[in-house]
Amino acid sequence: MKKKIYVALSADMLHKGHFNILNKAASLGEITVGLLTDKAIGIYKQIPFLNYSQREVILKNLKMVKNVIPQHTLDYRSNLRKIKPHFVVHGDDWKKGMGILKKTRLQVISELKKWSGKLIEVPYTKNISSSSIKSNIMKLYLQKYNRTSLLSRLIKVKDIVRIIEVHSPLSGLIAEKIQVEEKNQLIGFDGFWSSSLADSLLRGKPDNQSVDLSTRISALNEILDITSKAIIFDGDNGGRIEHLPFTINSMERQGVSAIVIEDKIGLKKNSLFKNQKNIKQDSIKNFCKKIKVAINARKSEDFLIAARIESLILNKGIEDALKRAKAYSRAGADAILIHSKQKNPDEIFKFSKEFKKSEYVKPLIAVPSSYSKTYEKDLIKHGFKIVIYANHPLRASYLSMNNILKSILKNKRSYEGEKYISSISEILKHSFI
State the total domains in the chain: 3
Task: Return the active site residues.
Answer: 207
Burial of 276 (0-12, 13-18, 19+ CB in 10 A): middle
> Residue 384 pLDDT more than 90?
yes
Last residue of a domain, one of 132, 165, 199: 132
Length of the chain: 433
| 289/185 same-domain check | yes
One-letter identity of residue 293 = V
What are the helix (H) ranges across 11-98?
A: 16-28, 38-44, 52-60, 77-83
Do residues 355 and 409 both lie within one domain? no
**Considering the domain boundaries, does residue 137 fall inside one?**
no
With respect to residue 354, please indicate whether it lies within any of the assigned structural domains: yes
Sign of CA dihedral 261, 265, 270, 271: negative
Judge if 251 and 321 occupy the same domain. Answer: yes
Segment 147-172, tens digit of pLDDT? 899 999 999 999 999 999 999 999 99
Q: Which secondary structure element, helix H or strand E, spans residue 364, and what is its range?
A: strand 364-366
Check whether residue 205 and residue 319 sit in a common domain.
yes
- 184 vs 343, higher pLDDT: 343
Q: Mean of the pLDDT values across residues 114-139? A: 73
Rg (CA), the chain: 24
Is the domain of 302 the same as that of 198? yes
Mean pLDDT for 385-405 is 95
Q: Is 414 left (phi over 0), alpha (psi -120 to 50) or beta?
A: alpha
CA torsion angle 395 44 183 392 (round to 10): 10
Q: Determine the distance from the C-alpha atom of residue 198 to the mean position of all C-alpha atoms in its chain, rounded to a whole number.
A: 19
> Does residue 369 have a pLDDT over 90?
yes
Mean pLDDT of the chain: 90
CATH of the domain at 157: 3.20.20.60
- Residues 229-266: tens digit of each pLDDT: 999 999 999 989 999 999 999 999 889 999 999 999 97
Residues 39 and 184 in one domain: no
- Can you give the residue range of the structural domain that contains 172? 144-390
In a domain, residue 383? The reply is: yes
60/113 same-domain check:
yes
pLDDT band at residue 277, thresholds of 50, 70 and 90? Answer: low
Q: Looking at the predicted structure, is the pLDDT value of residue 60 above 90?
A: yes
Interval 4-33 mean pLDDT:
94
> Rounded to the nearest 5°, which phi and psi values hold at 185?
-135, 150
Mean pLDDT of 416-425: 88
pTM comes to: 0.84
Beta strands 179-182 and 185-188, pairing class: antiparallel
Query: Are 252 and 359 found together in one domain?
Result: yes
pLDDT at residue 276 greater than cutoff 80: no
Flag whether 400 is in a domain: yes
For 106: left if phi > 0, alpha if psi spans -120 to 50, otherwise beta; the answer is: alpha
